[in-house]
Structure 1
Amino acid sequence: MSETLRLGVAVLGNVASVSLYAAPITTFKRVIRKKSTEEFSCIPYIIGLFNCLLFTWYGLPVVSYKWENLPLVTVNGVGIVLELSYVLIYFCYASAKGKAKVTMVATPVLLLFCITAIVSAFAFHDNAHRKQLVGSIGLVVSIAMYGSPLVVMKKVIQTKSVEFMPLPLSLCTFLATTLWLTYGALIRDIFVAGPSVVGIPLGILQLVLHCKYRKKSVLEEPNKGDMEKGNLEKVELEKVNMEMEDAEKNVSIHKNSNL
């Protein structure tokens, strides 16, 4: 029963996490269409790539005991493909300054991952110590990744609009972190469950902001439409009045000329 529960939670966690990783696809469709990265930052995607690399390595038999953490390998393997695609697309359409920034951030990150992988594989000779090293670094990186929406939440509060924080993404964040916390608790792995301690409150906060500002956005849109409609009616009325005044002037001039 416990094995079936673990598997079920792992599958659901995979689905929710893949949805999270796939969410920026619409953003990068826009980048490709406009052939510009605009004001988007590359850093969240590089951090996401680093996180996926670390936890894929963590789940492999080199670090973990046999295939005890196979669900981590599957979901983060998909994450590597997606996040790497985002970084490469960003690099292709970025300005010269943007390309330099990608290189400056991505190079140390990839170097740190390589060092972590080499040290964990050759400096330690048991799975417990390897998991401690890779898991500790992965824990810090995951917390940074889950903390990145704070910038968006600040913008939501300032603008009082959830335009830049889609509801499906917030729901996936909450579901993914809840499921991985459950899975980590079931397998008693602090490095799997740990990031969700930060991720769950942030997911809840995003949903609270949606409840608070979505209604305001819905209410403001009709008002805005009414204002625009009122402005159009006002312009039309002024136009009619001007035409009537011109007509009266023409009649008056015509009468005077006849006199």
Structure 2
Amino acid sequence: MQITKLLSILIISSLILIGCSNDDEDTPIASGLSANTQPLGSSANDLLSDATYKGLTIEMVSVEGFEPTATAVNEFKSFLEERIFKPDGITINQRSVASSGMAPFTTQEINEIESDLRTTFNEGDEIVIYIYFADGGNEEDTDTKITLGTAYLNTSLVIYEDTLRKLSMNTNAPLLSTIETATLNHEFAHLLGLVNIGTSLQSEHEDSEAKGHCNVTSCLMAAAIEFRSGMMNMLGNGVPQLDDQCIADLQANGGR
């Protein structure tokens, strides 16, 4: 799955390709919980509009010692408030848990961890999202490609916090909170159906070489950033924003 000079400095001598993956696996977490175990993007309208759900609760579960920064959590909430209609508000409930000891992770293993840890599901007019901050990386990470996060079901996503922290330790790297915010916003935007995964295109801007991502290189939903080529330059001016075409898509599907 998908900022100016500050992030390009991040791995100035590296060959790393950083990105995300979005997985439409719909493996059930447990029986009877079908509303929260649907394919990626299928709850986009429910998240964007207030037609069915008036409020949003986020169950944010972090491995002890790998909690997101308060700045990232606050900026993430502001991003959501700017794009979705939830008159009853957005509630973020955070807690920490012991390590699973399973790192590095496959998406299936992340799904199994959710089965053990998730406690909150859609109820009444409240829709619930589960976010897991992991103490390791994705099993498919290589010397040339790293996954920052994965949106893998309609209301589920994982942030590979250990990977984000390692990136932030590079010389002249952006703040950890900036990397976290960009990753959170990007992955949640996949839950909102971007790009063309549950929220229909209003114009042709899907990346033909990276489905589910935007072909505008400065957009939050750009697919992947290769440091060595200079494409990883978006964070220099802060967390990247959605471009006008992505915003138009969200608005046409009930969002702001």
Calculate the TM-score normalised by the size of structure 2: 0.27
Higher strand share: 2
Task: Between the two structures, name the one with larger relative contact order (CA 8 Å, sep ≥ 6).
Answer: 2
Higher helix share: 1
